[in-house]
Structure 1
């Protein structure tokens, strides 16, 4: 039986089922560089799954090594998205503590044309709790619609639907949705099983690009901002002077205003026109401009390989295709693809994405999209290191985007890639 004092304390505490979570205040956040890199158990668990052989022996020889940050380990959506909501302070700090040397912000714009970090302009319905706020849900491009009569639940909420002040009221969540939901709250309950909601309870606000720059600058890291392809017509709004070129320039201007040296910035875009614009208008920043390439998803692979000459001749120096574009299987082993061979012949540098993004390698999915060209040889979770080994030693990539930075950091340290 509770004492009177304990009973009074229990009444004063919030109900266990409805905790009141602290909303993180990111204004002015500028921590110091993190030198004590902590990888946690995952890389070691993956090594245990790897079949015996020279690669496993080499990786095991590094288990007691003091780990350092590496620019070969590039955060994807912050680098901690297996456990923390993407594009947030929490994910960035997790990726940084796991040794990511380059931090990513996917850059899009609000209704009042402020730049914010979101992986897609129109992902708020799966990455925040916007559909549960009636006044904001009503402003979405497509407000929440419950599942009914065999039709899945749906919504489409874009950053351009809201002012920055409205975006700043939102709490981030793990990316996912429930297609069978009949209520907004149930729609949020869709986190994939290979991620967790365990650390997603702090209210993580959406970061502005300026806040991201301040945070990453304080950490002493490099930046890779991706200019996200707008899902609204440009100029925005129609008839304005906010063109695609103005958007591309605004992103660079944020780094110039913060006095960030171009050598620390790796601007990216899927739009060839964006990279061409930077080459002409911002040559100092364009020296490390990255052209993201997913053209083979909708065209023959040979078409993507053939385009590499055009890009090189236009002044593009770095290409960034997804993992499956760079590798294939020959005689039961993972080897460089025709894309990787041609890029090397042309003198193009390569970055690739995204490690640790899909599910398990050892189940029927064999790793999903990111392992499609090597799926017939992925048999254990440890095979992720076989892929990294080919990318590093045979393809020669500059770096690898990862959703869980520890794995790429471990490999980079073990093989001296900094």
Structure 2
């Protein structure tokens, strides 16, 4: 970091006793830089790093069990399913190798809805990634990004059921943020009674069956209809429902800012856009400052959560942080700029939590600045 008050303050906290905080929210477990995501091992790593809220991305299986996966159709990049011929044959799209003649990338698509829960229980999780130039399954699976590591992925981390995740996090005394992932198959599923609404209710019912108090749960979804459903049918859980908002990825930011008025009117209390929606560079000073989106959300009295820190790889490798820093990319100079961003999010935007793939960074900042709750 460049010398200055922020660096001095952060250095002064180096010997502090760090405590868990709900301001530090695990992304896919919170230890995702080094551990397979959505696994017991990842949850424990994120917890050791102080994440006070643990995430489970919720998807359904062929036999309608709920499990933790970041996407319904990511098994080909997050597990060894392609290396198990009997199961690989059931994937939505079988493995197709890289075509040297056409230059077409290697592909595959394996979904939780392709398999029953007992079948998924035989799989081993791995670090998320794939090799688009692979000519064999082994090469395809071996695609972990260089800024992560396979060091702690040598064993066989199992896929967690939603109920198992609840048991683990409950015993740890932490809070929960389950995300109802948008289905990648037509709903109702296989022309049954399993509609989107049933799916949304199913997730909440698992928490109710486990006896989890609503105030410990932050249910999330990118689908506005899911949040509206919870507001109508599960008002106690909906008090902390989180609307994940990536609408400006598909349309003008001005429209996303305007939509906040509707969200607030409909009763949404917490909105969660990605990091670049909330900040921009001051045209005169070049400093990181709150965006129009951030200002409008606060004007409407909405709380803000954001995602996802430590997901961009290196900041000073010429990429300027990639997607998660695109609104401030021209101001990114060093790895320490992650703390400049956090400082603005905390002190000027006023976010109530930050998702991270490496929870210790957010935890350290939160403890240093008294954001422990």
Q: Render the CA deviation track for 1:299-352: whole Å, top value 9, x for unaligned.
A: 000000000000000000000000000000002100000000000101011000
Q: Return the offset for 1:186.
A: 1.1
Q: Which runs of 5+ in 2 are unaligned?
A: none
Say if 1:152 and 1:180, in contact at 8 Å, map to a contact too: yes
2:259 alignment counterpart: 307
Q: 1:112-151, aligned counterparts within 5 Å?
A: 112-148=63-99, 149=101, 150-151=103-104
1:402 alignment counterpart: 356
2:201 alignment counterpart: 249
Match of 1:171 among 121, 124, 138: 124
1:358 alignment counterpart: 312
1:191 alignment counterpart: 144
Counterpart-to-counterpart distance in 2, 1:235 and 1:174: 31
Counterpart-to-counterpart distance in 2, 1:400 and 1:367: 17
Counterpart-to-counterpart distance in 2, 1:192 and 1:65: 32
2:59 alignment counterpart: 108
2:286 alignment counterpart: 332
Asked if 1:276 is matched to 2:228, the reply is yes
Say if 1:72 and 1:398, in contact at 8 Å, map to a contact too: yes
2:156 alignment counterpart: 203
Q: Render the CA deviation track for 1:124-156: whole Å, top value 9, x for unaligned.
A: 000001011111111000011111222211000
Counterpart-to-counterpart distance in 2, 1:334 and 1:141: 44
1:387 alignment counterpart: 341
Counterpart-to-counterpart distance in 2, 1:377 and 1:163: 48
2:168 alignment counterpart: 215
1:236 alignment counterpart: 189
Q: Secondary structure at 2:306's aligned position in 1?
A: strand
TM-score, length-scaled by structure 2: 0.98
Q: 1:1-16, aligned counterparts within 5 Å?
A: none
TM-score, length-scaled by structure 1: 0.88
Counterpart-to-counterpart distance in 1, 2:164 and 2:37: 15
Q: Render the CA deviation track for 1:221-249: whole Å, top value 9, x for unaligned.
A: 000000000000000011x1100000000
Greater radius of gyration (CA): 1
Q: Secondary structure at 2:58's aligned position in 1?
A: strand
Asked if 1:294 is matched to 2:246, the reply is yes
2:177 alignment counterpart: 224
Say if 1:359 and 1:365, in contact at 8 Å, map to a contact too: no
Q: Secondary structure at 1:170's aligned position in 2?
A: coil
Aligned length: 368
Q: Which runs of 5+ in 1 are unaligned?
A: 1-49
Q: CA RMSD in A?
A: 0.5
Q: Return the offset for 1:110.
A: 0.2
